[in-house]
Amino acid sequence: MMLEILTYPDPRLKEPSTTVETFDEELRNFLSNLEETMRAGPGGVGIAAPQVGRFQRIAIVDVSSHKKVTKHHGRLVLINPEITDWDGFEIAREGCMSVPDYTGNVIRATHIKLTAQNENAEIKYFEMEGYEARAVQHELDHLDGLLFLDRLVSRRHDLFQRKTHQKKK
Amino acid sequence: MKNWFMLALVGQDRVGIVAQITDALYRGGCNLGEASMLRLGTSFTMMMMVNTQLDENTLISVIQPTAEKLGLHLHLDQIEGELHPHPEPDVKIVVHGADRAGIVAQVTGELANAGLNILDLETGVGGSDKKPFYFMQIEGNATQGMEALQLALEKLKETLQGNIDINLSPLETFDL
Ligand SMILES: [Zn+2]
């Protein structure tokens, strides 16, 4: 079943989500609907539960359809995810199903370490990089009531200019 | 009936330009659509889509006193405006090399022939006075596909004999 996506400026998108305590059939049902909703969009590669009005720390990410991404973990159900380590940074464009018709440049860590539970409450450990790491950071922001709009960087200060500034020193 | 106008203002940069101009527009009962405002050299440039009941002359009379006080030149056109979907760039081109005349025309000319519709272009000069270098960043739509642009750039690199770096990369936007 497709779920309805909350879209900005809906104030509920700013609501922080709470820890998932119960791993039951109802949760697994919700996960299947959440995934269906994510995959319904043409470029949908990640979704977080609060985007459909369920304020629990749940996200699904699958960047395997992204042609240029070679390193990824396929379909990931991330419950109560925590990033434990960040490294590197990169600016790239992001879109969001909750912010239709607008994209912007955002800085994200290029490498992260992550722990999360799966649908069976098993704790998993991941090391991620590149676009998958970006997608996860975007979804975890949703769990804290943040949108990429909160993290926009100037078009005029992108990586190329930074690199040239560094060379001059 | 409400009209849309493209309002352009350019003048010496100083603090408060944006606040004073937008305040004049607001007091005149105008709404802003999309806007691009930035400092270029020592000038400040503003382009705004303005939505208003006013006709052209009345709109000018609303802005002119503030623009004059701030030393801004004003240009106004009526447009077919609305809040419309943004065209999403699907390609990015970065060019850099030793500073030289005619490079923008040469690069954009070849790219236009290969179907590039430019949505955003910025250029600048960096480095020291003795050894300036030039850079340009373009975002746009490859209306004839990426291969056409790639071919055009290969040709260009040959013509320029390696005095310039040109990198073409696809821009894909995914929903998260
Ligand atoms: Zn999102």
Enumerate the domain spans of chain B: 3-79, 91-170
Give the pLDDT confidence score for residue B76 in this predicted structure. Answer: 96
Confidence of residue A42 (pLDDT cuts 50, 70, 90): confident
Give the pLDDT confidence score for residue A164 in this predicted structure. Answer: 37
Residues with CB under 5 A from ligand 1 (ion): A 96; B 176
Domain A11-161 fold is Peptide Deformylase (3.90.45)
Cis peptide before A9 (omega within 30 of 0): yes
Confidence of residue A153 (pLDDT cuts 50, 70, 90): confident
Confidence of residue B83 (pLDDT cuts 50, 70, 90): low
Length of chain A: 169
Give the pLDDT confidence score for residue A156 in this predicted structure. Answer: 57
Q: What's the gap in Å between A78 CA and the centre of ligand 1?
A: 15
Find, among B149, B127, B133, B124, the residue nearest to B100 by Cα: B133
Give the pLDDT confidence score for residue B82 in this predicted structure. Answer: 67
- Tens-digit pLDDT profile for residues A45-76: 999 999 999 999 999 999 998 877 888 999 99
Give the pLDDT confidence score for residue B84 in this predicted structure. Answer: 65
Q: Provide the CATH number for the domain formed by B3-79 in this structure.
A: 3.30.70.260
Helix (H) or strand (E) holding B153: helix B146-160
A16 min Cα distance to partner chain B (Å): 17
Give the pLDDT confidence score for residue B144 in this predicted structure. Answer: 96
- Scanning B156-175 for CB atoms below 8 A from A yields 170-175
Q: What percent of chain A has pLDDT over 70?
A: 91
Which pTM does this prediction carry?
A: 0.84
Q: Do A168 and B174 touch (CB under 8 A)?
A: no
What number is the average pLDDT over the span A79-106?
92
Closest CB to B85: pick one of A101, A135, A160: A101
Find, among A142, A140, A131, A141, the residue nearest to A63 by Cα: A131
Amino acid identity at A137: Q
Please give the Cα distance from A73 to A120 (Å, whole number). 18
Find, among A112, A103, A110, the residue nearest to A153 by Cα: A103
What number is the average pLDDT over the span A16-36?
98
Question: Token pair of B49, please?
Answer: 């889509």
Contacts of B95 (CB under 8 A, 6+ apart): B103, B107, B134, B135, B136, B137, B138, B164, B165, B166, B167
Find, among B80, B79, B28, B27, the residue nearest to B58 by Cα: B28
Instruction: For chain A, say whether B127 makes contact (Cβ under 8 Å).
Output: yes
Closest CB to A96: pick one of B127, B171, B176: B176
The listed CATH number (3.30.70.260, 3.30.70.1280, 3.40.50.620, 3.40.50.300) that belongs to domain B91-170: 3.30.70.260
A119 min Cα distance to partner chain B (Å): 20
- Scanning A123-142 for CB atoms below 8 A from B yields 131, 135, 138-139
- Scanning B5-34 for CB atoms below 8 A from A yields none
Q: What's the gap in Å between A145 CA and the centre of ligand 1?
A: 10
Residue B160: what are its φ and ψ, rounded to 5°?
-90, 0
Give the pLDDT confidence score for residue A84 in this predicted structure. Answer: 97
Respond yes or no: is residue A139 known to be catalytic: yes
Summary mean pLDDT of chain B = 91
Give the pLDDT confidence score for residue A85 in this predicted structure. Answer: 97
Question: Token pair of A72, please?
Answer: 């990824």
- Which chain B residues contact residue A103 at CB under 8 A? 86, 88, 173
Q: At what angle do helices B103-113 and B146-160 cross, to 10 degrees?
A: 150
Alpha-carbon torsion angle B28, B31, B37, B42, nearest 10: 0
- Tens-digit pLDDT profile for residues B21-70: 999 999 999 999 889 999 998 999 999 999 999 999 999 999 999 999 99
Closest CB to B176: pick one of A46, A155, A158: A46
Please give the Cα distance from B31 to B4 (Å, whole number). 9
What number is the average pLDDT over the span B101-129?
90
Closest CB to B86: pick one of A102, A156, A160: A102
